[in-house]
Amino acid sequence: MCGLTGFLSLDAAGRMPQRSRDESRAILEHMAETLRHRGPDDGDVWLDETGRVGLGHRRLSILDLSPAGHQPMTSHCGRYVIVYNGEIYNHLDQRSHHENCGVRFRGHSDTETLLAAISEWGVCEHSLRSCIGMFAFAVWDTREQTLTLVRDRLGIKPLYYGLARRADGSRTLLFGSELKAFREHPDFDATIDRTSVQLLMQHSYVPSPRSIYSNVRKLPPGTMLTVPLDGNRTSLPEPVAWWNARLRAEQVRGTDNQSSVSDPIEHLETLLRRAVGSRMLSDVPLGAFLSGGIDSSLVVALMQQQSSRPVQTFSIGFEEEGYNEATHAKAVAEHLSTKHTELYVTAQQARDVIPSLPTMFDEPFGDSSQIPTFLVSQLARQHVTVVLSGDGGDELFGGYNRYLHLWNRWQKLNRIPGRRAIAATFGAIGRALPSGRWRDRFLYRAQLAGLPDAGALYQHGNLHWPQTDPIVIGAGPADTLYWQRDRWIGHDVPIEPMEQWMWLDAATYLPDDILTKIDRASMAVGLEARVPLLDHRIFEFSWTQPLAWKVAGGEGKLPLREILSRYVPRELFERPKMGFGVPIDAWLRGPLRDWAEALLDENRLRREGFFHPTPIRRKWAEHLSGRTDWHYHLWDVLMFQSWLETQA
């Protein structure tokens, strides 16, 4: 795992950049240095002879620890230069093909193997689809004078890009693994996107393709962006999909895949075992996160089955009742005979992480499980450099409690006679009331009763600050996938509403929240996290099977439960799902109260000009009184306010 950054100067044709090559190199070195935490082992930059193209890299050495794995790396043919972040787990198989074609490799890194594929086929669907893994990279084609940015299928690794403009009209493409690299470029415009702030209030994260900055975008999962050095562009081209989660799910659902698999449970176990085994390839110490839940326990069980010695596992515990999974993790570890390390952290230790969150995540991020994720990463890094994690099982196999909860709610709503008329009545009453709790309640119930279908219920049921309460001043309409129903799965193949929700989470919540969280938290301490359940072959196979194979009888993840029971007794993992969180609600009423009060001060909110203070102050007062738990809403605001302080 590594960090990458760089720029491409798009000055008018024939005009040289105003900066000297030495000045450009110094800027690039500063940009790369901001990513040292992602790659503490090595780093370098590459500039073309004009200084218009720059690639910067920081390396966390995982495969091929020798100088042969050094980046930026030039292909054996000399045409391509790459900076790369990630792991390609089938690169040894690919390497055999290229060796048979006459390629002589200098080392054994997957970066060199990727360059060989690009040298043979170009940066295209064929070369990219041959890669099984997680990756984000930038490659410069010296012949065609083009820069191409690429991101993996499911968005496991991050990549941002955007245009910076100077007063003279010249433009520069900036890109990087994290936004902090952009801020080191003197032309970067740090204007905050107010619509992104409103989306943050709704989702707890800024959804792709937006970022918190107006002129920066996230490269969507499974896409590539090619920018030519032609000097004539006024805007960037649109990313092109080389793999599409919706199309792949529809394609495999629309074919008769089930007929070729006599036992889908056995087939899934084979896929899982191979995915886990390939992700155990490492030249440095390796372990796994273990919460004691279904997903992480299954990953660890399959690791232990394929390991000649006890797998190193890590978990953290809390003294607060309802937030501690360490006892469950320990029981699973003892059954599997892993080398288990657990750390019980105090509430103060957890709260001490909060000041570092804005810098760690680079843009405001409101999922409070970021705190324990960082703490368990910090613990694991004291022993290993690579960990496997169980992320992805909920989205692929229906594991979230909200799926069943919202489905039950939809069925009840559908049984209400004349609910559209009720919605109109509630709406009229709410609009007639003055601002306050009762107005909010009537408007909320009006919106709920008037929802047209189950998809709209899922949109409505997953928001923190609802659309009816736009607290951000000057925010525009949302244009993300979450709100664009015509781009959702289900138009070309018949699927259940709950499957549509699972797909939507895999396309939005998974890359923008779950994978962002684990990437930033682990990379903050120089730890590589791998997610075997998100092998794209597992994603595709899960979509060949009907919903009833995954969710039935009030339970999700049925096939994962069945496979895990072959390694771990059911009594060790069959229990209500517990989130990986901390008691933010109680902390805001206690030890975090003064910190929060300062950030939510009414005069401060008015002075900064991003929020309407009244609804925030009302929820803050209600939360402090204990009448209502508004900690999800308030934490979103607090994370933005805390991040905003770092921008001064």
What tokens were used for 97?
């093909």
Among 492, 532, 402, which residue's Cα sits nearest to residue 454?
402
Cα separation, 416 vs 420, whole angstroms: 9
DSSP letter (8 states) at residue 139: E
Alpha helix segments (H runs only) across 282-434: 294-305, 326-336, 347-351, 357-361, 370-381, 393-397, 401-414, 419-432
Cα separation, 82 vs 223, whole angstroms: 17
Q: Is the dihedral angle over the CA atoms 500, 504, 506, 509 positive or is it negative?
A: negative
Length of the chain as a residue count: 648
| Beta pairing partners, 150 | 137, 224
Strands 73-74 and 240-241: unpaired
Identify the residue whose tokens are 């952290």: 345
Among 146, 178, 30, 164, which residue's Cα sits nearest to residue 81?
146
Q: Cβ atoms within 10 A of the Cβ of 199, count?
A: 26
Please pick, among 2, 77, 124, 131, the residue that the annotation labels catalytic: 2
Q: How far apart are the first and last CA of the chain?
A: 31
Q: Is the dihedral angle over the CA atoms 246, 251, 254, 256 positive or is it negative?
A: negative
Burial 216-246 (b: 16+ CB within 10 A, else e): bbbbbbbbbbbbbbeeeeeebeebebbbbbb
Give the CA distances from residue 192 to residues 162, 163, 620, 640, in Å, rounded to whole numbers and listed in that order. 13, 14, 25, 11
Asked whether the bond before 209 is cis by omega within 30 degrees of 0, the reply is yes
Q: Cβ atoms within 10 A of the Cβ of 626, count?
A: 9
What tokens were used for 80?
């391509």
List the Cα angle 201/207/209 in 5-degree steps.
145
Strands 160-165 and 216-218: antiparallel
What tokens were used for 350?
């957890």
Q: Is the dihedral angle over the CA atoms 374, 380, 383, 388 positive or is it negative?
A: negative
DSSP letter (8 states) at residue 11: P
Cα separation, 269 vs 265, whole angstroms: 6
Q: Is-catalytic flag, 101? A: no
DSSP letter (8 states) at residue 116: H
Angle between helix axes 264-278 and 294-305 (nearest 10 degrees) is 70
DSSP letter (8 states) at residue 16: P
> Which residue numbers are catalytic?
2
